[in-house]
Structure formats: structure tokens, C-alpha cells
Amino acid sequence: MDAALFFIAAVKIAAVGALLSLDRTAWGQLMLSRPIITAPLIGLTCGNATVGLFIGALIELLWINELPVGATIPSDDTLCAVIASGVVTTLMGTMKISKLTDIGSLTFMVLAVMTPLAAQGRKIDALARRYNERIFVDMETRLLRGSPGRAVSLHLKGLLHFLTCNFVTILGVSLLLLLAMPCCYALVPESFRKIMSGLLIVFPLVGIATVLSGIHRKNILALFILLALSFSFLVQP
């Protein structure tokens, strides 16, 4: 696939992903930025919503206990979901990958890169917030001077800072992975791909362990176990 087409795919991922990422803290907060929602939408945009949903579920479980509450800046799971689902679903089409083992191994490779980078997403968020602190002071001054129209435009400028930071980050990382991952994937032996596909179970297990570690009341833990057992009996053939 030509590098120009990879660039177009990266722009598409970045445009949709940057808009969805505004929902984290900058605008809305309607939970549209959660990985379980974002990843299928990006997957649909890139050609495979089902794989996008699978990736979103893995990432959602991994960071299920991190929420942007108050001044807390959590790991950017939205960034991880957008890039991972976009890169995997795009490469599935360009590399003609259809076997479940190959899809799983490609997903594992992309998530292995994106999981550490998600923690770095805090710095991007913090950078946008620092710029917006300056806007807040200017906005307050404009309101005291009786210029509400200018204050509104400054408010929109704050949203633009978040949008620009996310767009540039998603575009750069997506393009880099789209260009590099096919070469890296070709170097992995078939036997290793099966192992990597099986290791995907690590992501939901870490998330479940994190949730359970936060449950301190015995009655809540007992209720959780009871519901899990009930569900297991219901899904039995």
C-alpha cells in the first residue's frame, strides 16, 4: 500500500478520534470517549466494527477503574482505543488478514506499543490545560470589560487546543504504526503469532483484577461472585 494512502487513513482516524476525544473532559462528557464506544466507531470508519468492538472491550477492561474525575488526569484510554482500532482494522484490509490467530497477534503487537503510550497521553492533556489556563484569565478580563462576544470566542479557542493536540498526536502515531507495523509483523514467526494471540487474555485479566482489588466490602464481593456464577449458568448450552 502506498504511503500516501496510509497518510489518508491516518488523517481519517485522527479526524474522527480527535472529535470523540473531546468528550473526555473538554466537551459533553457523554461517555462517547470510552473505549467500548470509540473503538467500534473507529473500526466502522476503517472497515471492521466487530474487531473494533473486540479491541475496545480489551482496553475498557484494562483501564476500567481510571476516570477523569475532578482534576485527576488518567491514562488516555481513548487515545489508545482510537489508534489501536484504527491501525488494526486498516492493516487487516491492506495486508489481507482474516485468520483469527493473525488478527489476535496483530492486535497484541499494536496494544503492546499503545499501552505505554496511553500513560503519556496525560502529558498531552496537561499541555492543553496549561494553554487554557491562560485563556481563562484573558476571558475573565474580557467579561469584566463588558466584551462577552470575545469571551465566547476564547472559550471555543480552548476547545480548539484540545482538538488540535489530539489530532496531531493521533495522526503522528497512527501514521508511524501504519508504516512500521507491516514490516515488524512480517518478521514474527507463525508459532510466535499464536502465542501472542493467546496472550491477549492478559488485558481483561488485569482489568478484572484491578476491579476486584478496589472492592473492599465483603457483601459487594459476594454479590459480584454470585452474579458471575449466575451468568455462567445462564450461558451454558
C-alpha span between 237 and 22 (Å, rounded): 43
DSSP 41-69: HHHHHHT-HHHHHHHHHHHHHHTTT----
Q: How confident is the model at residue 138 (pLDDT cuts 50, 70, 90)?
A: low
Least Cα distance to 87 among 207, 190, 178, 222 occurs for: 178
Over residues 65-82, the mean pLDDT reads: 74
pLDDT at 177: 92
**Residue 162 burial (CB < 10 Å; 0-12/13-18/19+)?**
buried
C-alpha span between 179 and 159 (Å, rounded): 30
Q: How confident is the model at residue 41 (pLDDT cuts 50, 70, 90)?
A: very high
pLDDT for residue 171 is more than 90: yes
Over residues 121-134, the mean pLDDT reads: 69
C-alpha span between 171 and 16 (Å, rounded): 11
pLDDT for residue 235 is more than 60: no
pLDDT at 96: 84
Would the CA dihedral through 44, 46, 51, 52 be positive or negative? negative
pLDDT at 148: 62
| Residue 98 CB neighbour total at 10 angstroms | 8
pLDDT for residue 119 is more than 90: no
Least Cα distance to 35 among 69, 64, 2, 11 occurs for: 64
C-alpha span between 44 and 192 (Å, rounded): 29
Least Cα distance to 54 among 21, 23, 89, 19 occurs for: 89
Place of cell 458471575: 228
Angle at which helices 49-62 and 100-144 cross, to 10°: 70
What residues have CB less than 8 Å from 119, skipping those under 6 apart?
Answer: 75, 76
SS3 content of the chain, % helix, strand, coil (to 5): 80, 0, 20
Q: Does residue 40 contact residue 53 with C-beta atoms inside 8 Å? A: yes
How confident is the model over 74-113, as pLDDT tens digits?
677 888 899 999 999 999 888 888 888 888 888 888 988 8
